[in-house]
Amino acid sequence: MTITNKNVEKWLKMIGSERLYEMVETYPENELDGRSEIQLFADELSYLISCYEEDGNFLRDDLEECKEVLRETKNGKVIPVNARTFKPIYRPHTIEFAKSIVNRYRRMKYRYQKLNESGVYGKWL
């Protein structure tokens, strides 16, 4: 499906999730059933957020792991060191990856909250 709504395009770029972009972009046009692009975006966004919040889902596991990395590194300000080898436990790219995952999840939650305030609800949350 070609995205024609400028707001949806802008929101997809702001969130920065390849998975969400692919979900919206590859949605079949013949299955829209009269829904607007904003409603489709809200539905797909709510599905992805529900995956992040569902127990046993790999996205939730990744999010929890990234939060733990940020907790141990005090949001990337401190790099813990192994007491035996004096080598860092986390590499800088691991910390940056954890920051990007957590921030992406926060941007999704924020956008979904704003959609709810405007009266657009997803079918998964």
Q: Which of 87, 88, 70 is nearest to 79 (CA)?
A: 88
Residue 36 lies in a domain: yes
Give 39-66 pLDDT, tens digit per residue.
Answer: 999 999 999 999 999 999 999 999 999 9
Residue 122 lies in a domain: no
pLDDT of residue 33: 86
Residue 111 lies in a domain: yes
Residue 99 lies in a domain: yes
Residue 125 lies in a domain: no
- Which pTM was predicted? 0.91
Total structural domains within the chain? 1
Q: How many other CB atoms are there within 10 angstroms of residue 5's CB atom?
A: 13
Residue 123 lies in a domain: no
Give 74-97 pLDDT, tens digit per residue.
Answer: 999 999 999 999 999 999 999 999
d(CA 86, CA 52) in angstroms, rounded, equals 34
Show the domain range for 20. Answer: 6-117
